[in-house]
Amino acid sequence: MQPILFELGPITIQTVSLFHTGGILIGIWWLYKQAKKNRVDPQKIMDLSVVVVLWAIIGARVLSILFDGSLQWYLENPMTILMLWNGGFTFYGGFLFGLGAGIWYVRKHNLDLWKISDMAAPGLALGIAFGRLGCFFSGDSYGKPAEVAWSVTFTDPMSMAPTGIPLHPTQIYSSLVLLLVFGLLLLWRKRQKFNGELFLAFVMLYALVRSFVEIFRNDPRGVYLDGLISTSQIISLLVVIPALWLFLKKLRKYKRLKLDTSR
């Protein structure tokens, strides 16, 4: 693997940063494309993207510091909190902070929240899948020791993963299942019944596949009950419950309206 893409004097470009940036750009590109297709002001979508990305970075950093098991180290070395290029991000932190910022912006500018959420959902899955490849190159989010034919062994001393040990390629697992989610959402979109359906489906599917991949991960990320459950699995549960409730509520409303119009 190649954690460092290249060095130019004092500037070090990490491979993970390139892929994470690419993932963000993929998500923005997808949303911009859908905005034009659905006749939503593209400029507002670009402004929305900037707001969401900035707050997502803040949220991903904050939750990583608080729950990934390195809080004491950050307290002893506070300046490292600002060293974003060294990694240390949590998806759910970015998702929750970005979602909150997005809701604020959409309501402020009188946009259709559920419509835009649906437009963004497949792009989110695709962007995250691409970004996870960067974790593979850096050794971040590494897996447990494995005796399987597809295990990977990191050898670069700069890798965040332990070297010389065959591990589950959990980063690749994440990318593959998220590509599957992307494909499912594209198929789901053809049969979509109500606004918000696609986004809520993404939230539930992501929580499911993230909890599955967590079983094979071994990096410091906050675990409880003697390693039985991780921080991300707890958050997945807390996220999927309201998403499922909203999904069922909107589905019942759709069925009632359909029944009323058919009479």
DSSP 8-state code for residue 168: -
Per the model's pLDDT, the better-predicted residue between 62 and 192 turns out to be 192
Distance CA 58, CA 97 (A): 8
Structural contact between residues 28 and 49, judged by C-beta atoms closer than 8 angstroms: yes
Q: Which of 55-59, 88-92, 99-103, 176-180 has the highest mean pLDDT?
A: 176-180
Contacts of 161 (CB under 8 A, 6+ apart): 139, 140, 142, 154, 167, 219
The pLDDT > 90 percentage for the chain reads 59
Fill in the DSSP letter of residue 151: -
For residue 18, pLDDT beyond 80: yes
Q: Kind and range of the H or E element at 175?
A: helix 170-189
Measured distance CA(88)–CA(201) in Å, rounded: 28
For residue 48, the model assigns a pLDDT of: 94
* Count of C-beta atoms within a 10 Å radius of residue 108: 10
Q: What Rg, from alpha-carbon coordinates, does the chain have?
A: 20
87 pLDDT band (50/70/90 cuts)?
Answer: low
* 80/33: higher pLDDT: 33
Whole-angstrom Cα distance, residue 113 to residue 104?
10
The total number of structural domains that make up the chain? 1
Angle, CA 135 vertex, CA 236 and CA 162 arms, to 5°: 105
Concatenate the DSSP letters of all residues of 210-250 into one string.
HHHHHTTB-SSS-EETTTTEEHHHHHHHHHHHHHHHHHHHH
pLDDT at 187 over 60: yes
Mean pLDDT (the chain) is 87
* pLDDT interval class at 83 (50, 70, 90): low
Residue 225: alpha-carbon gap to chain centroid: 25
- More confident of the two residues 91 and 45: 45
- Of residues 72 and 243, more confidence is placed in 243
Phi, psi of 216 (to 5 degrees): -100, -5
Q: What is the mean pLDDT of residues 186-215?
A: 94
User: pLDDT at residue 137 above 70?
Assistant: yes
Amino acid code (one letter) for 237: L
If one counts every other C-beta atom within 10 angstroms of the C-beta of residue 128, the result is 25
Look up residue 16 and give its two tokens: 């993970």
- Quick check: 189 pLDDT over 90? yes
Q: What is the pLDDT of residue 263?
A: 64
Confidence at residue 62, expressed as pLDDT on a 0 to 100 scale: 83
Q: Which residues are CB-contacts of 183 (< 8 A; sequence separation ≥ 6)? A: none
Q: Domain residues for 252?
A: 4-262
Higher-confidence residue of 165 and 3: namely: 165
